[in-house]
Amino acid sequence: MAAAPPFVIEGLGKSFGSVRAVHDLSFRVEPGRVTGFLGPNGSGKTTTLRMLLGLVRPTEGRALVGDRPYAEHPVPGALVGAALEATGFHPGRTGLGHLEVYAAQVGADRARAREVLGMVGMSEAAGRKVGGYSLGMRQRLGLATALLADPPALVLDEPVNGLDPEGIVWLRQFLRHLAEQGRTVLVSSHVLGEVQHTVDDVVIIKAGQLVHASSLSGLAELADQVTRVVAPDAEAFARLAADRGWSTHPVAGRGGTPGVGADVVGASAAEVGAACFAVGLELHQLATRGTDLEDVFFRLTGHAADPTVGEGAA
Ligand SMILES: Nc1ncnc2c1ncn2[C@@H]1O[C@H](COP(=O)(O)OP(=O)(O)OP(=O)(O)O)[C@@H](O)[C@H]1O
């Protein structure tokens, strides 16, 4: 494998007529790490990735793979493996047939096509037509295609889309392994919760502009502590929370859970427990939920939280 290049985005911008999809965007993606490229739908992620891969010409700034734009590398396809959308497959080809066609384009052989199919756990579907694949299977095939040339850098647009929970865990471990091998791994998503356990670094954009770039732990520093409480006397707890100036979010009780739950933002379990004890308030649950990264993401991007994401309780 060749040395892994960083991705360097410098003052990048793209307008489509009057639509400014990306503007004055700068960030770096380092080798040996998985970087999440995050932003709500329509925030400019795909446009940025397409500029990085030389598929869209920037109207401002530049996107570099190492020291130069993608297209100026001698064999760019061998340097950066890309999976942009899981729809561009010929439905009549088999998974293996598809990979063999692309293997030829990046100088890989047929044995490598079988090998990458095995790497993404798809050996058994090798002879089936892609038209009959599920979205998750097409995602895996896209990843296998990106890996054909054993590239030191990878760009994956929304790779979690369509994966089942088992597939998400598998992808997490697979991307971690690729980064541990020293590769540069850039993964886009519109939901932080989808990639929160996968990424080392985050780059967050909104309306085509950077709103945050740091390690995941740097993002966690912006998050408030959250403590979950279930109190049978919800009114008394609400009075206490108001007295203490706590900000709370109601949480619907799970089947069989007595009382009414609330997430207290910005107070530790010890503080909440002591305050309840002091006023003789009975609690049925008191737990540290940790920091709520999804909440930080929504604060940064200004988008309403999706209640189905990152929330175990219904
Ligand atoms: N070819 C194009 N012509 C006109 N407008 C475009 C084109 N491509 C993208 N846009 C616009 O640019 C903006 C950014 O789109 P982009 O697809 O890059 O966002 P995204 O963050 O990838 O969104 P999603 O998460 O929904 O895929 C949107 O307003 C989109 O409508």
* Domain assignments of the chain as residue spans, ordered by start: 7-215, 225-291
In whole angstroms, give the CA distance from residue 5 to residue 197: 24
Dihedral, 119, 309, 214, 207 alpha carbons, nearest 10? 110
Dihedral sign, Cα of residue 104, residue 107, residue 109, residue 113: negative
19 pocket-lining for ligand 1 (C-beta < 6 Å) = yes
User: Which residue bears the tokens 């990878």?
Assistant: 154
| Burial bucket for residue 285 (CB in 10 Å: 0-12, 13-18, 19+) | middle
Ligand 1: does its nearest atom lie under 6 Å from the Cβ of 13? Answer: no
List the single range of 1-15, 39-53, 248-262, 287-301 with lowest mean pLDDT: 248-262
Tell me: pLDDT of 125 over 60: yes
What class is the 7-215 domain?
alpha beta
Return the CATH class of domain 225-291. Answer: alpha beta
Q: Is the pLDDT of residue 128 over 70?
A: yes
Q: Looking at residue 296, what is its pLDDT?
A: 85
pLDDT at 299: 84
Cβ neighbours around 310 below 10 Å, total = 17
Question: Does this model's pTM top 0.80?
Answer: yes
Handedness of CA 30, 31, 32, 33 (dihedral sign): positive
Averaged pLDDT, 26-52: 96
- Residue pair 313/251 in contact (Cβ under 8 Å)? The answer is yes
Is the CB of 47 within 6 Å of ligand 1? Answer: yes
Tell me the CA–centroid distance for residue 265 and ligand 1, in Å. 34
Give the chain's mean pLDDT.
Answer: 89
Query: Each residue of 288-313: pLDDT tens digit?
Result: 887 778 878 888 888 654 443 333 33
How far away, in angstroms, is 37 Cα from ligand 1 center?
Answer: 15
Atom 17 (ligand 1) nearest CA? 46
Q: Atom of ligand 1 at shortest distance to CA of 190?
A: 25
What is the distance in A from the centroid of ligand 1 to the CA of 3? 32
pLDDT of residue 314: 26
What is the distance in A from the centroid of ligand 1 to the CA of 190? Answer: 13
Of 69-73, 159-163, 168-172, 223-227, the least confident: 223-227
The interface predicted TM-score of the complex, written ipTM, equals: 0.96
Q: What is the pLDDT of residue 288?
A: 86
